Structure 1
Amino acid sequence: MRVLVIDPDPARAALVAEGLDGVDPLEVRQSAQFNAAEVASFSPDIIVVACDSADRDTLESLREAGETNPRPVVMFADRSEPGLAEQAIRAGVAAYIVDGLAPARVRPILEVAMTRFSLMQQLRGDLAKAKANLESRKVVDRAKGLLMKERGLDEDAAYKLLRKLAMDTGRPLGAVATDLLAFAGVLKGDAS
């Protein structure tokens, strides 16, 4: 497990490192700011950010890095202001721990954060797939409607024709439906 610890305070960073005794490679960066380029260069499995209090710049950097290269993030903060926990979670922090840094707690917290991150990534993937399936279904329904109107087919026959075109071309049904709608638009002069 590759762990990157970002903490400007050497004493606090040492506590985190103590809790990760035996983890190799372990990289400790004594920096006050989260730097996405540094994270990319180390390519950690998990990031631990320890700080006095989460600031908006760090949270924004975490959010931006998470969009391009998602990683589980654990944040240990000595103190917190109202609303910062929510902002941290929205920025991609899997575990936000306030005034709770103890070496014996570090590894279990990282394990929970990694599991939570993995589950959230799976949920995001499932949601994206469901949205894509719904959009594909809408396109297929529109293509069926076009075939029903233009060729005088019933719904079942229009679907069978689309499915046959998809099988004959070895392409997904949604892609065939999209092409059919695009070609119909060109023929009608709707394309730009």
Structure 2
Amino acid sequence: MSVKIPIGPIHPMLKEPINLTFYVEGETIVDAEPNIGFVHRGIEKLAEKKTWFQNLYLLEKVCGICSSSHQGCYAQGTEKIFEKEAPEKAQYIRTLMWELERLHSHLLWLGVIMHEIGFDTLFMYTWRDREAVMDLVEMISGRRVGYSINTVGGVRRDIDYNILTKTMEVANYVASRDDYYEKKV
């Protein structure tokens, strides 16, 4: 027999408002029902009153951690409407930024989870390693939050050999740390 455990919409562990109902048997979660409710900020309505290019800046504010992803999807959608395609190098730069955001996000949330279960040492390690990714994002975009790198038709910044070298260093470092985290968790 499962036990119903409601969590949220406000809970100290939750970093965003969400309402979850967990069904637990012993110590195993057997089912979960999300209910996001009225967590809506009206971004779509705001976008109706702005130009194509103003929306690029609006959409990067959907999430501070993954602003390039939201902005990039909008840029790609706009390019598709106009039957245009970003140059190949711009597509590579977009993909690089999205992958760095993904790494940054995973390290952030792994750290948050470790903190919540009381494993603060691993929390500090993940956030330290996250800094290497954030430094690289800043090197590429000039910013740590709200990168403003995407535009309709391409990207606003180029990358050079030094950045590619640093990217490989950071990728190898994070991969080695991932092995460490896997052993610890």
Larger gyration radius, structure 1 or structure 2: 1
TM-score (norm 1): 0.24
TM-score (norm 2): 0.25
Task: Identify, as 1 or 2, the structure richer in helix.
Answer: 1
